[in-house]
Structure 1
């Protein structure tokens, strides 16, 4: 009888510990902000002198704070100039959902004196509780 009682007490405590651990993990995953990016498209080709535009929908259960867009080089680039690594932060006004449509990014046009090749467009989205998510889209600049 006492073995069964010990067995049930141990099983009860294991269930409680398992439930408390799983609740913490689920809440963290549910609270990250989400972005659906329409522009730039994956693999999109940009010519120097053209413009990079952003179109995206954002959503967060706690309210959106900001998104930061930047470029980083993916592979070896061609040319004598430096890689182009601009950065821009956009405030999202603490709303639960937000849409950016055809917003110019970085500069009015891509500079001519940069290295050409494969870049990654990176979008870092932060919500009011400082949860974040990051999205990376490969693009080509020639």
Structure 2
């Protein structure tokens, strides 16, 4: 009878260890990363121009998308919004994506208030882990 108990105990432990190991491997908790830079060296734009970026995106399992938005620093302090741009989405796939001179957002409106703006890049992976990167620009 003791040998039967040992077999049952060994089988139960084996099943528990196998199921725990599988769960740990399937959960992606690692955030994606990115290297993002604007193509204008001084970060100064004029109304009517486009904002272009160069970027490299990385994830340990699978990338999903990069969501790009912009806000004026005035509106971030509670003032009226100067430019209501819709969020721009860049579809990503695989573990690594490189982009060169890609246009983000719509062109800068010609009647926009001059001043400082903040570009925000939310990079997501397939597990919805994300990282946020911000770049300040000047419109004049």
Q: State the match for 1:134 in structure 2.
A: 132
Q: State the match for 2:43 in structure 1.
A: 44
Cα distance in 2 between the residues matched to 1:97 and 1:120: 25
Q: State the match for 2:92 in structure 1.
A: 92
Q: State the match for 1:73 in structure 2.
A: 72
Q: State the match for 1:106 in structure 2.
A: 105
Task: Kindly indicate whether the alpha-carbon contact (under 8 Å) linking 2:39 and 2:101 is maintained by their aligned counterparts in 1.
Answer: no
Cα distance in 2 between the residues matched to 1:115 and 1:122: 19
**TM-score for the superposition, normalised by structure 1:** 0.69
CA gap 1:70/1:133 in 2 versus in 1, 3 angstroms: same
Deviation at 1:97, TM superposition (A): 0.2
Deviation at 1:123, TM superposition (A): 0.3
Superposition CA RMSD, Å? 2.5
Aligned with 2:116 (options 115, 118, 133): 118
The count of corresponding residues between Structure 1 and Structure 2 is 110
Deviation at 1:114, TM superposition (A): 1.4
CA gap 1:91/1:115 in 2 versus in 1, 3 angstroms: same
Residue aligned with 1:75, SS:
helix
Task: Kindly indicate whether the alpha-carbon contact (under 8 Å) linking 2:58 and 2:95 is maintained by their aligned counterparts in 1.
Answer: yes
**TM-score for the superposition, normalised by structure 2:** 0.70
Q: State the match for 1:15 in structure 2.
A: none
CA gap 1:82/1:129 in 2 versus in 1, 3 angstroms: closer
What runs of 5+ residues in structure 1 fail to find an aligned partner? 1-26
